[in-house]
Amino acid sequence: MPLTTSRKSRLVIVLLSFAVGSNALPTLRHGNLHEHPQQSAISARRQSFDVFPHLLDVGEMANLSHAVYKYKHYNYDDVCEHWNNETATTITHEKGVTCHWYRHDKHLGTQVMIVSSKAKDYLAVVFAGTDDLFTALLDVDVRKIRFGTDDLYNKDKTNASRVPVSLDCADCRVHEGFNNAVFANHIFDDIYIRVEKLRPKFSRLFTTGHSLGGANSIMTALGLAVEFQKKHIGLKYPVTSLNFGSPQVGNVEFRDFINSNFLTHPNSTQNSPYLVIWRVVLGWDLVPRLPQFFEHIGHTVQMNSPECNDKTPYCIPKRWLPPYGNHDRDANKTKQAFAFYHHIGDASMNYSGVPASWSATPYLWVPGALLSHAIDRYATFLHEWFVDSPKTFVHDFVNTNSSSSSDDALIDDDAYAEPPDDDAAQLLEQRNNEVLSETPQRLLDVVKRWLCR
């Protein structure tokens, strides 16, 4: 019996959950991005509201998002002590990153720490992805609730939030699980109190995370921005969420409200200096295309590793196992990233949204979409990029006249037909049936081989 769309999605996410789970005990290499001396503390502080993220910062946040998985099974009272004394396997005090606080709420699955770098002048709130990936991404009946604490605490009860957070938007709704992971059980209270104590010592404030941790980082950044704006707290730079493989978080009304009131790029009008969100996506990572019936907020940075020549300024990826090319030092090292304004674009500003088939293409090559989601692949991709060509990251949004806004600039959805003809829609069902319905065991074998490397 052919698999339905729902059953196909469930199979994909079951396998994807294995891939995410493999990150629980990561080991980071020596020579991470933050070790490069080219970016001084002074130049790091030159970030402003209208500047695209520096590749060094993106790589640093990917490393932090990778490292936090290590502490999943620790007694959280010991995590910062271990982090600050560690010398072998993770980002260390010796490398200039200090842990100030850690909490793991096992009931909610929230794993979060606050770290800082004096040399790079930042404070960062870092989330790990949770174990509940399957439920969070596939539950079509998930409640959509108001952002913040409004639907979580009765103000007349003694357990009311010490830092109540809400939006002045009657129709805005967000994913209940993502919202609860940050605002339930007083997690945001704990974060806010500690951030406010430490923030004056640093110019820059980041939130970051991978997978569902990326969604948590977005919710936290918005919560901090709402509070800072409400209290008229002056910030030298906006709260910046740099996250990786984050799923979609809210309804259309939420997306439009946040994009208009908090995330309007200064090339248009600088409505709020308090928040900027950059969602980084590697190749065909499937998670950013889920869950259904939700929307993204913030800008999308789509990273790829194409095979290029001087006649193809917008190149077509050809190798996707691994999805960004070989690890061999002699292999193609060319990297590309495209920034899409508010993900959906803005015609009035001549900014393009992601291609029409952006959400569909991962299903064409499911193994690559599964493997692309792993945080160690994000971290490795960015590290190799910095080593090869540190000045070639995104510097502008894709405009509506650019060939990079076409489907084939991002992904070869034409099964290598020449010339490309953007036939992703026609191939989608065919590829789904071929890969998922006929040979599901092959997908499991691919994931198992990857996990056992």
Distances (CA, A) of 200 to 33, 79, 96, 162, 191: 26, 24, 18, 21, 15
Cα-based distances in Å from 50 to 61, 264, 283, 393 = 19, 10, 26, 15
Q: State residue 248's pLDDT score.
A: 95
Q: At what angle do helices 55-67 and 375-388 cross, to 10 degrees?
A: 150
Return d(Cα 369, Cα 275) in angstroms, integer.
30
pLDDT of res. 139: 59
Provide mean pLDDT across the span 251-279: 79
The pLDDT value given to residue 80: 92
Rg of the chain on CA atoms, in Å: 21
Mean pLDDT of 102-131: 92
Q: Which of 238-252, 312-326, 354-368, 424-438 has the lowest mean pLDDT?
A: 312-326
177: left (phi over 0), alpha (psi -120 to 50) or beta: alpha
> Mean pLDDT, to the nearest integer, of 211-239?
94
Q: What is the mean pLDDT of residues 115-143?
A: 80
Q: What is the mean pLDDT of residues 351-367?
A: 75
- State if pTM tops 0.85: no
Averaged pLDDT score across all residues of the chain: 74
Domains of the chain, with CATH numbers?
Answer: 5-451 (3.40.50.1820)
Q: Is 232 exposed, middle or buried (0-12, 13-18, 19+ CB in 10 A)?
A: exposed
What pLDDT sits at residue 404?
55
Say what percent of the chain tops pLDDT 90: 39
Question: Mean pLDDT across the stretch 221-231?
Answer: 95
DSSP code of 352?
-
Cα within 13 Å of Cα(416), Cβ side: 5
User: Looking at residue 207, what DSSP letter applies?
Assistant: E
Q: What is the pLDDT of residues 396-433, one digit of tens each?
A: 899 887 655 555 444 443 333 333 334 444 444 554 45
121 vs 204: CA distance, rounded Å: 6
Nearest to 397 by CA among 345, 356, 348, 359: 345
Q: How far apart are CA 340 and CA 279, in angstroms?
A: 10
User: 315 pLDDT exceeds 60?
Assistant: no
Q: Which of 271, 268, 212, 213 is nearest to 238 (CA)?
A: 271
* pLDDT attached to residue 417: 31
E strand segments, 128-266: 144-145, 174-175, 204-210, 239-244
Better-scored residue on pLDDT, 326 or 218: 218
HEC profile of 281-293: EECCCCHHHCCCC
Q: What is the pLDDT of residues 9-62, one digit of tens each?
A: 555 555 555 455 444 433 343 334 444 433 433 333 333 445 789 999 999 999
Name the residue with higher pLDDT: 314 or 170.
170
117 contacts: CB under 8 Å, gap ≥ 6: 34, 60, 96, 97, 98, 124
pLDDT at 155 over 80: no
Q: CA 310, 314, 316, 319: dihedral to nearest 10 degrees?
A: 70
- What average pLDDT score do residues 87-106 get? 73
Most confident range, picked from 95-99, 156-160, 278-282, 435-439 = 278-282
